[in-house]
Amino acid sequence: MSRSTRHLLIVVSGTDPVYRGYCLEQTAAGYGIALIDAKPPTWQQHLVADHEVADTRDSAAVVAAGLALAERHAIAGVVTWDEYALVPTAELVARLGVRGNTVAAMSAARDKAASRRLFAEHGVPSARSIRVRTPAQATVAAHRIGFPVVFKPASHAASIGVIRVDTPERLTDAWEFAAAGASQQGPEGRGVLVEEYLDGPEISVECATVAGVTTALAVTRKEVGFAPYFEETGHTVTADDPLRPHVASVAAQAVRALGITDGVQHVEMRLTASGPRIIEVNARIGGDMIGQLVRLATGLDLPRIAADIACGNAPSLNPTAHRTAAIKILYPPATGALTARDLTVEPGPEHPWLHQVTWLRQVGDRVALPPEGDLFTGRVGFAIVTADNPAEARHRLTHIADGLTLTVAESHTAA
C-alpha cells in the first residue's frame, strides 16, 4: 500500500462521546484525524481518516500504533486530551520527531509529588506535601503538616481518592479511601500524598503555551461539593474575568516549572489569604466540558488551539465573544436506584440560553455518591447555559435547579 501524502493529526485516546466528543469534532473541522484508541472508532467513524487500536496507557503500544500510522500517512502532529495518555503521547512525539512536550515534563505533570518538588524549586506558590506509603507514615505526615490536611493519590485525576482530613480521628478512614483510589492510579506516580489544605475559592486557568510562552486564555470558577470529598459540581467561565490578570503569572510560572513548552493546560489553584496557590497542572484541556464553556464565553476553540500547536501552526488566541457560560452537574440526593429523572426546562426557542442538557443515567440505574462512588457513578447529567454576565448565568442555573426532579430508592439495588 502506498503512503498517503495527506498530513494527519494523530489523536491519542480521550474520545469519550459525552465529555470529549466536542474535542474531536472541533479538531476534525481543521485537520484530518488518525485515531489511536483502545477500541475501533464507532460514533466518531465519520471524523477519522485512519486508526490503530492500542492500550493508550501503554507507551510501547502507543508508539507502535503511531509508527504504523506514520508508515501509511504523513503525520503533522500528535495530541491528546486524556490525562492518562500524556506520557505515552510524549513518547510518540519523541519517536516521530514532531512538536510537543518531553516525556520528563509530562511525567512531572502526572506525578503530583514531582510537581510539588519542582514548584518549590522554582518558587511557585503551592502546598506542602509529603509522599507516604503506609498508614503510619500518613499519620506522621499529617501531624507534621498540621490539620486539616488532604490525602490524594499521586497520579490520579477527577478527584478520585481525594479527601480532606480535619482531625486525627479521621485518619484511618481517610487513608483507606485514598489508598483505594491510589490502587487504580496511573503508573507515573506512586503512593499517597499528604498535603496542606489550601483554603479559599477554587479556580482553574485555561492556558495555551507555544514554544515556552504561556498565555492565560480564561478563568474557570468552580463549585466543589460533598465535603470532605472534592466532587466538582459546577463551573463558570466569563470572558475578561477580572481575576485573569491576577492569576495569569502564577499559572505561567507553574507551567514553566514543569518544563511544559507546548499545548493547552488546565491549571488548578486556590485563592488563599496569602494569594493564589497551585493545586496541580493538567497538561491537557480541562474536563467537565470546560473547553465548551471557554468557546461559548470567549469564542476560543481550545481543541483547535491544541491541534494547531501540535502541528506547528500559529493558533488563534484572540477572543471573539464576550459572554458567560456555566455548567451545572446534576447529582442525586442519595445513593440508590434512580427512580425519577426530569427537567422541566428544555433547549429550544423558549430557552435559547440553554445550550445543552445531557443525561448520563437512566431511570433504574444505580447511582453512588462519595464515599461509595465518584463522578463516574454519581452524576446523573449536566446542563450548560449562556448569559451576558455571571449574575444572569447564576439566575438561569437556579431556574434549572427549580425545575429538576431527581429521586432515588435508597434501599433498592438495581439489576
Element (H, E) at 332: none
Identify the architecture of domain 201-321 in CATH. Answer: 2-Layer Sandwich (3.30)
Q: What is the pLDDT of residue 168?
A: 96
- For residue 335, the 8-state DSSP code is S
- For residue 374, the 8-state DSSP code is -
Q: How confident is the model at residue 2 (pLDDT cuts 50, 70, 90)?
A: low
Contacts of 69 (CB under 8 A, 6+ apart): 8, 10, 34, 36, 50, 52, 75
Report domain extents, the chain.
4-98, 128-196, 201-321, 323-415
CATH of domain 323-415: 3.30.470.20
The full DSSP string for 158-218 is TTTT-EEE-SGGGHHHHHHHHHHHHTTS-TTS-SEEEEE---S-EEEEEEEEETTEEEEEE
Which of 370, 374, 134, 124 minimizes the C-alpha distance to 249?
Answer: 124
CATH homologous superfamily of 128-196 equals ATP-grasp fold, A domain (3.30.1490.20)
pLDDT(48) > 60: yes
CATH topology of domain 4-98: Rossmann fold (3.40.50)
pLDDT(415) > 70: no
Q: What would the pLDDT profile of 292-331 be if each residue is shown by its tens digit?
A: 999 999 999 999 999 999 999 999 999 999 999 999 999 9
Same fold, 128-196 and 323-415: no
Q: What would the pLDDT profile of 198-243 be if each residue is shown by its tens digit?
A: 999 999 999 999 999 999 999 999 999 999 999 999 999 999 999 9
Calpha distance 364→371 (Å, rounded): 21
